[in-house]
Amino acid sequence: MNNKKVAFHNLGCKVNSYELDAMTELLVNKGYEMVSFDDMADIYIVNTCSVTNIADRKSRQMLSRARHKNPDAVIVAVGCYVDTCDEDKLKTEGIDLCIGNNRKGRIVSILEEYLAGRTDKNCDVVKADDKDTLYETLHISESAEHSRAFIKIQDGCNQFCSYCIIPYARGRARSRKFEDIIDEIKGLVIRGYREFVINGIHISSYGADFIYEKSKADQFNPDALLDLLDRINNIEGVYRIRLGSLEPRIVTDDFIKRLSCMDKICGHFHLSLQSGCDRTLERMNRHYNADQYAGGVEIIRKYFEHPAITTDIIVGFPGETEEDFAECKAFAERIGFSKIHIFKYSRRKGTVADKMPDQLTDKEKSVRSDELTVIDDKYMNEFREWYVGRDEEILIEEEKEIDGEIYSVGHTKEYVRVAVPGSYRANELVGVRILGILNQEYMIGKKV
């Protein structure tokens, strides 16, 4: 029986969270004991993020924190930071073992090989191979999320946005086998999960693995994704299917019409915009313009009643003028998003945008972020007010104490967060009448 204690810390996206669950399961099955990252452990593993320079710094900080916690522990860096950092630099940072993204499924064998041959000063680096074109199989039988399960269907990206390091950290787009996804979901249904979030680095590329050239980044295989979703929709015990971020160019009339025929698809669409200004979009290498994006939103609203349209917008991109930002704000108002995730542009070494002229100051970015937040708040509240007086169904996630009262909290299919008085089980579907807006985070409802 393995008696070594392992502590994980996760940084970054939902794909990283899924992979953390999978790696944890692999280690537990081999007898390792999982403990909190704040506890004394024999092995500390940081599932790193490298999307920005700040993410790199946080990854290094957590690795350093682990070393200070237990100088005799084995310190392991896993993921994007490993694949984007120079190997010689990794060997100077006090890390014992570095494992690249497309080697996470081999974490047990790599770790045990290292432990068997460990010396006091060596650092082993096991990076992903640039020539890897196959999806690395990872599997979960339970999720750290108690109310919904995130299902990873693909990895990598072919888009090469000028601000983004991910194609270099994750490699080209590659898809998970159809039946492996279905089997995983069926197993999670047995464990009581009812909502499934379809996730990946670029899920719109599912089924388009044959495309590797940057010049063909605009080619997709939407039928492959639709066929997969249709199969998931027909699994008994699945109540909701929520989509991760979609590429705006995949949103066609045929695509959304077919989605609308699947009764378990949530009317919640995250279409990453990044800017509402065509000049900025071109510098970002986003492959579409604002009018094309707006056309996709119009199609979604044609087939879904009052859908949630959420997005990401980067403010302060290099060269973004006051006129460019004004155009972006006007576009955000034109669409009326239910939620905008606002990011101040952060330089990332190794990207095209890092070398662009006319970098904006932190102050300019903060001012623009604040201005866009005002627009976000306005349209988010307008979106939520539409539900007042309506009967909806929420999937209970957790209990919260709000103003001294106990509430059960969950989301509607459109991702409206509702608090209802009383205690209900996690994963229970509860019919509620929405009475009003409690605060910026919750709407208030009562059971019907």
Torsion 136-310-274-17 (CA) sign = negative
Helices (H) and strands (E) in the chain, counts: 13, 18
Question: Taking 90 as the threshold, does the pLDDT of residue 79 lie above it?
Answer: yes
- Rounded to whole angstroms, the Cα distance separating 127 from 88 reads 13
Return the ∠ at Cα 11 (arms to 75 and 121), rounded to 5°: 15
- Rounded to whole angstroms, the Cα distance separating 334 from 301 reads 14
pLDDT above 90 as % of the chain? 84
Amino acid 33: pLDDT: 96
User: 3-state SS of the chain: helix, strand, coil percent to 5?
Assistant: 35, 25, 40
- By residue count, the chain amounts to 448
Question: Taking 50 as the threshold, does the pLDDT of residue 35 lie above it?
Answer: yes
What's the number of CA atoms in the CB half-sphere (13 Å) around residue 5? 12
| Torsion region of 110: left, alpha or beta (phi above 0 gives left; psi -120 to 50 gives alpha) | alpha
Q: List the domains of the chain with CATH numbers.
A: 5-126 (3.40.50.12160), 133-266 (3.30.750.210), 271-386 (3.30.750.200), 391-447 (2.40.50)
> Residue 318's CB: how many other CB atoms inside 10 A?
20
Which tokens in the block code for residue 316? 């302060």
Q: 117 or 272, which is more confident?
A: 272
Question: Taking 90 as the threshold, does the pLDDT of residue 59 lie above it?
Answer: yes
pLDDT tens digits, one per residue of 351-367: 999 999 999 999 999 99
Cβ-contact 369, 344 below 8 angstroms? yes
Taking residues 252-263, report their average pLDDT: 98
pLDDT tens digits, one per residue of 293-305: 999 999 999 999 9
Taking residues 327-334, report their average pLDDT: 98
Taking residues 164-181, report their average pLDDT: 93
- Rounded to whole angstroms, the Cα distance separating 207 from 272 reads 20
Taking residues 241-260, report their average pLDDT: 97
Cβ-contact 153, 200 below 8 angstroms? yes
Amino acid 214: pLDDT: 47
Taking residues 12-17, report their average pLDDT: 94
List, in order, residues 6 or more apart from 87 with CB less than 8 Å away: 125, 127
Helix (H, G, I), strand (E, B) or coil at 31: coil
Per-residue burial over 244-255, b if 16 or more Cβ lie within 10 Å, else e, is bbbbbbbbeeeb
pLDDT band, very low/low/confident/very high, at 124 (cuts 50, 70, 90): confident
Amino acid 186: pLDDT: 97
> Residue 4's CB: how many other CB atoms inside 10 A?
16
Question: Taking 90 as the threshold, does the pLDDT of residue 324 lie above it?
Answer: yes
Helix (H, G, I), strand (E, B) or coil at 218: coil
Average per-residue pLDDT for the chain: 93
pLDDT tens digits, one per residue of 181-240: 999 999 999 999 999 999 999 999 999 875 445 445 557 899 999 999 999 999 999 999
Residue 174 CB-density burial (10 A; 0-12 exposed, 13-18 middle, 19+ buried): buried
Torsion 261-267-273-275 (CA) sign = positive
Which one, of 376, 389, 404, lies nearest residue 443 by Cα?
Answer: 389
Amino acid 218: pLDDT: 58
pLDDT band, very low/low/confident/very high, at 119 (cuts 50, 70, 90): low
pLDDT band, very low/low/confident/very high, at 142 (cuts 50, 70, 90): confident
